[in-house]
């Protein structure tokens, strides 16, 4: 795929994650991040059935049987482990099934950080622009 065939994203955009009830979720694009990161209130493994229970800020609870732990290194060089789940993130009306790390991002402006694991699916980033897919979605909404 040539770079001219890739879809553009700006430094911020809006994504949909229907599996956890999120529509037009504000996101920051971070080409330095290996994985996407999504804000959640808590994530714990149930001892009863070994499922990951995730609670969102609005109190909604979700269970995942497919999850893993990922090591994430901050820009300060500190490493921490996070749970990651497979989610379908929709952008430009196309779903992409990727691993998304779960973390507390309540102090951050954007509840979703988009990393390279999604960007390598065919996106380029123009940091001068914002909300390109959001405008596309609005243009083609029925």
Report the chain's mean pLDDT, rounded to a whole number: 89
29 forms bridges with which residues in the sheet?
114
State the Cα angle at 126 between 125 and 130, rounded to 5°.
Answer: 100
Instruction: Name the DSSP class of 138.
Output: H
Name the β-bridge partners of 46.
Answer: none
Domain enclosing residue 96, as ranges: 3-139
Alpha carbon 42 to chain centroid distance? 16
Question: Which pLDDT score is estimated for 34?
Answer: 93
How many independent structural domains does the chain possess?
Answer: 1
b/e 60-86 (16+ beta carbons within 10 angstroms → b): eebebeebeebebeeeeeeeeebbbbe
What's the pLDDT at 105? 85
The residue to which tokens 């955009």 are assigned: 13
pLDDT digits over 94-137, tens only? Answer: 999 999 999 988 788 899 999 999 999 999 999 999 998 876 66
Average pLDDT over every residue of 66-78: 87
φ, ψ at 129 (rounded to 5°): -115, 165
| CA 18 and chain centroid, separation | 12
Phi-psi region of 16 (alpha: psi -120 to 50; beta: other; left: phi over 0): beta
pTM of the model: 0.88
How would residue 90 be classed by pLDDT, with cut points 50, 70 and 90?
Answer: very high
At 87, which CATH number? Answer: 2.40.70.10
pLDDT tens track for 3-24: 567 899 999 999 999 999 998 8
Q: Could you give the residue ranges of the DSSP H alpha helices within the chain?
A: 116-119, 132-139
Q: Residue 38: exposed, middle, or buried by beta-carbon count in 10 A (0-12, 13-18, 19+)?
A: buried
């Amino acid at each position: 795929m040539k770079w001219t065939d890739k879809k553009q994203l700006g430094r911020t955009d809006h994504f949909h994650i229907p599996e956890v009830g999120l529509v037009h979720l504000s996101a920051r694009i971070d080409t330095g991040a290996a994985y996407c990161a999504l804000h959640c209130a808590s994530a714990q493994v149930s001892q009863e059935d070994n499922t990951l229970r995730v609670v969102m800020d609005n109190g909604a609870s979700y269970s995942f049987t497919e999850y893993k732990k990922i090591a994430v290194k901050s820009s300060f060089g500190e490493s921490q482990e996070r749970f990651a789940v497979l989610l379908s993130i929709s952008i430009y009306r196309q779903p992409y099934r990727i691993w998304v790390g779960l973390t507390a991002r309540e102090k951050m402006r954007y509840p979703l950080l988009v990393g390279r694991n999604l960007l390598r699916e065919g996106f380029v980033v123009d940091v001068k622009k914002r909300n390109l897919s959001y405008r596309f979605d609005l243009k083609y909404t029925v």
